[in-house]
Amino acid sequence: MFTTVLSHQNSAVSQRENRIPFDLVGTIQALKQELNAVILAHYYQDPEIQDIADYLGDSLGLSQEAAKTSADVIVFAGVHFMAETAKILNPDKLVLLPDLNAGCSLADSCPPAEFARFKAAHPDHLVVSYINCTAEIKAMSDIICTSSNAVKIVSQIPADQPIIFAPDRNLGRYVMEQTGRNLVLWQGSCIVHETFSERKIIQLKMEHPQAKVIAHPECEPAVLQHADYIGSTTALLNYALKGEADRFIVVTEPGIIHQMQKAAPHKEFIPAPPQNQCACNECPHMRLNTLEKIYLAMKNRSPEVTLTPEIQQAALHPIRRMLEMS
């Protein structure tokens, strides 16, 4: 009985402490000054989060920004592997991830113990890993890449050097096509990008014959074959803004459409639909972050992303190589 009363009291205190202020955006801006914090956000975040970010970008841009920030605190509005990369680059800074459950299906598709066995079975291979992987996988890699520099990085590796590419088989296949290289692929994939239906994209193309299909390389080959342009989120945004075309079928997480629409309000952006009548073209991990959780993370200076010094140091080298080769 006593315990129950106490826990009721504790939860009342914590509810009071975690009360959300009326001016949430203003309070976050004030906390930013107080903590000397920077908010880094990915394009797949909710529009209201994108609008308060100090820097908004794709995985490469976000790691470049994390590498050069002078802020004391990095608030990462993205998923765990992105915040982890920021921490690897900034071991002495506080890196906050508003929801520690914001993972990534692609990173989960490559468990470290299984990958260690896969790597051991290909002892003469160089390991190029897509940044969408855990710090443990990065620590086992020679070079990291993102969707915007994968082709460029693989092209710089001597032609006679055998390569393992992990964890995304779709990006891996795309890199093979673009470079003419034979890569040994880890068979991972992203639940969001695998959800797009080729049939529905063909249907949309028939309804909008003038529209350009723009797609992320994490999509399956059956979908990518219909794309007029393939690239990272930043590349898709730039392509949509620069060209003459004014209607696009966007085959990636629809969060990016907020920036497209903001920068080109006169153009039309049609989100590619998923297979079923669901919202599964939205990344369930990315969308766990909210403005409220960002506020609470800054106020409580938690949840924090942490790493062992061994993993941090081993994972730093392949990330640095990526930044040098980009």
Which residues would be at the binding site for ligand 13P (CB under 6 A)?
58-59, 132, 146-148, 190, 216, 218, 232-233
Which of ligand SF4, ligand 13P, none binds 50 (CB below 5-8 Å, type-dependent)?
none
Around Cβ 126, how many Cβ atoms within 10 Å?
A: 16
Which position among 60, 104, 201, 257 is part of the footprint of ligand SF4 (CB under 6 A)?
Answer: 104
Query: Alpha carbon 294 to chain centroid distance?
Result: 17
Comparing CB distances to ligand SF4, the nearer of 144 and 192 is 192
Cα Rg for the chain, rounded, in angstroms? 21
Among 205, 236, 200, which Cα is nearest to 218's? 236
Say if CB 43 and CB 256 are below 8 A apart.
Answer: yes
Comparing CB distances to ligand SF4, the nearer of 32 and 220 is 220
Query: Measured from the CB of residue 17, what is the shortest distance to ligand SF4 in angstroms?
Result: 31
Say if CB 280 and CB 263 are below 8 A apart.
Answer: no
Which of ligand 13P, ligand SF4, none binds 105 (CB below 5-8 Å, type-dependent)?
ligand SF4
Say if CB 75 and CB 96 are below 8 A apart.
Answer: yes
Backbone angles phi, psi at 15, to 5 degrees: -65, -40
Say if CB 131 and CB 63 are below 8 A apart.
Answer: yes
Report the relative pairing of strands 247-251 and 268-271 from DSSP bridges: parallel
User: Which x/- pattern, by CB under 6 A, does the window 127-146 give for ligand SF4?
Assistant: -----x--------------
Q: Is 190 in the site for ligand SF4 (CB under 6 A)?
A: yes
Q: Is 253 in the site for ligand SF4 (CB under 6 A)?
A: yes
Comparing CB distances to ligand 13P, the nearer of 143 and 190 is 190
Query: Measured from the CB of residue 44, what is the shortest distance to ligand 13P in angstroms?
Result: 7
Which position among 37, 74, 106, 250 is part of the footprint of ligand SF4 (CB under 6 A)?
Answer: 106
Q: Is 307 in the site for ligand SF4 (CB under 6 A)?
A: no
Query: Measured from the CB of residue 183, what is the shortest distance to ligand SF4 in angstroms?
Result: 19
Query: Measured from the CB of residue 78, what is the shortest distance to ligand SF4 in angstroms?
Result: 8
Range list of H helices, 127-227: 135-139, 150-155, 169-179, 198-207, 221-224
Comparing CB distances to ligand 13P, the nearer of 31 and 150 is 150
Q: Is 192 in the site for ligand SF4 (CB under 6 A)?
A: yes
Whole-angstrom Cα distance, residue 245 to residue 34?
44
Q: Is 40 in the site for ligand SF4 (CB under 6 A)?
A: no
Which of ligand 13P, ligand SF4, none binds 147 (CB below 5-8 Å, type-dependent)?
ligand 13P
Say if CB 95 and CB 74 are below 8 A apart.
Answer: yes
Q: Is 45 in the site for ligand SF4 (CB under 6 A)?
A: no
Query: Measured from the CB of residue 237, what is the shortest distance to ligand 13P in angstroms?
Result: 9
Say if CB 93 and CB 75 are below 8 A apart.
Answer: no
Whole-angstrom Cα distance, residue 204 to residue 283?
22
Name the segment binding ligand SF4 (CB under 6 A); options: 14-22, 115-123, 187-195, 242-250. 187-195
Which of ligand SF4, ligand 13P, none binds 84 (CB below 5-8 Å, type-dependent)?
none
Comparing CB distances to ligand SF4, the nearer of 280 and 325 is 280
Whole-angstrom Cα distance, residue 99 to residue 292?
11
Whole-angstrom Cα distance, residue 138 to residue 107?
11
Which of ligand SF4, ligand 13P, none binds 45 (CB below 5-8 Å, type-dependent)?
none
Angle between helices 59-68 and 80-89 (to 10 degrees): 30
Around Cβ 149, how many Cβ atoms within 10 Å?
A: 21
**Which residue ranges make up the site for ligand SF4 (CB under 6 A)?**
79, 104-106, 132, 190-193, 218, 253, 283, 285-286
